[in-house]
Structure 1
């Protein structure tokens, strides 16, 4: 098994109902840093807020590679507040953020707002999609307190009301949630704004990921699905592949192993035994 630089793909689209894009993203594989920010505050305010988030976090991590995402996001909140106070952008502008910082076989994800991070783990049966982030939203608060069921959240009329964002003037500091995990083989991380998740269900996201051979195709198909489902908001997403790779020759050979039991080792032994038996039969027929 080898550890290599992470492969990724990203896309951002204003959608079909808006003439400006308040979303932005950052892809810095050389720093192991990716993020998606969804600005709010109207034309020439939301774009400013999300750009401040992107530029602040990028600068913080470039200047101090050991700084945590939590601290750099907190500093981005302070940067928006300061910028608004001196006439850059507009008072009341804000932004969500979801960011990934990867080093070796470990990664950290941190977020504020309702932009999301998902973990996709592919398998011979198709794969599994897991939401790593938890929305800072009114509807999520209703779910957490048992007022509504989780399955009712996506159709709730107030699902887009968030409980905190970067730049919220009522908050000196925001609550930055985070998770830390180890990478495994055959994993992708999806970072996205709510322009994707409002239009495309988790079930459809999982289906698209299971049918995609690489992250470039997956990003294209997810963006297409969001646009064809309405595209009512800005849409931004990134997919980052695990840096852990199996031996490429072994990986190439395994694609020919048929699905029998669902266990790749068992299937390989069965398939190998069948091939050996067939080869033995051919040798017997040829010489006897």
Structure 2
């Protein structure tokens, strides 16, 4: 089994009173997850934590198809629970975004709902693998200054749709999973520079958080870096 180096962290940030993000790093199952509870709504921290807890129960050693089925089933179950909880609490929405990576046989399988992201860094280039489920910000508003309006989230619509993609992992490949508290503060070019110069996954995480916190960290900040074995 190939050993992938990973490091992850979540932080309240400098403005928010509650951390509504959650992360999950399961080197044993080769599964990594970030989730961002919807700010401004009730119990966003409950939603993101529930996602992390349920995905933490995925069995080790599952094949790629079985693991994807188990992840889909877990997210669909959380989706229904959150919709029921919102009804019980008489609130419009209790929801969360999620972005995850499952690694099997040298392939990164990335699933997501919402605007949490998975990036791939290799050959000195950074590219965003996931496509935000969100309307673009209004004209004149940059992505760093404010995100768009989400079009999809766990716990939101009646039917949950989870997008998946696959990426081949090379010897120098790094994957970055993050909530929007990271890409609100750092450009793709800055993220690429961090990933390209850091000596380890832990060092990359240290640098990402130092940058976001130094710039005011207006949102909760969560990120995971995964490095393929050389």
What is aligned with 1:176? 162
Question: Which residue number in structure 2 is paired with residue 34 of structure 1?
Answer: 32
Q: CA RMSD in A?
A: 2.5
Give the counterpart of 1:226 among 188, 212, 221.
212
2:186 aligns with 200
| Counterparts of residues 51-130 of structure 1 (less than 5 Å) | 51-59=49-57, 61-62=58-59, 65=62, 66-68=66-68, 69-87=71-89, 91-121=92-122, 123=123, 127-130=124-127
1:200-223 Cα shifts (integer Å, max 9, x gaps) = 000111111111111111111011
With over 3 angstroms needed to count, the CA separation of the structure-2 counterparts of 1:129 and 1:156, relative to structure 1, is: closer
Superposition TM-score, scaled by structure 2 size: 0.88
Aligned counterpart, 2:142: 154
Q: How many residues align?
A: 225
Seen in structure 2, the aligned counterparts of structure 1 residues 156 and 199 have a Cα distance that, compared at 3 Å, is closer
Answer yes or no: is the 8 Å Cα contact 2:144–2:184 preserved in 1: no
Unaligned runs of 5+ residues in structure 1 are 143-147, 246-288
More helix by share: 1
Q: What secondary structure does 1:79 align onto?
A: helix
Instruction: Tell which deviates more after alignment, 175-184 or 198-207.
Output: 175-184
Query: Partners in 2 of 1:240 and 1:158 — Cα distance?
Result: 27
Q: Greater Rg, structure 1 or structure 2? A: 1
| In 2: Cα distance, 1:219 partner to 1:106 partner | 23
- The answer (yes or no) to whether the contact 2:118–2:177 under 8 Å persists in 1 is yes
Maintained 8 Å contact 1:53/1:77: no
Give yes or no for contact 1:14–1:234 (8 Å, CA) kept in 2: yes
Summarize the Cα distance change of 1:85–1:67 in structure 2 as closer, same or farther, 3 Å threshold.
farther
In structure 2, list runs of 5 or more residues that go unmatched: none
Residue among 13, 16, 40 paired with 1:15: 13
CA pair 56-80 structure 1, distance change in 2 beyond 3 A: farther
Residues 227/179 of structure 1: CA separation in 2 closer, same or farther (3 Å cut) = same
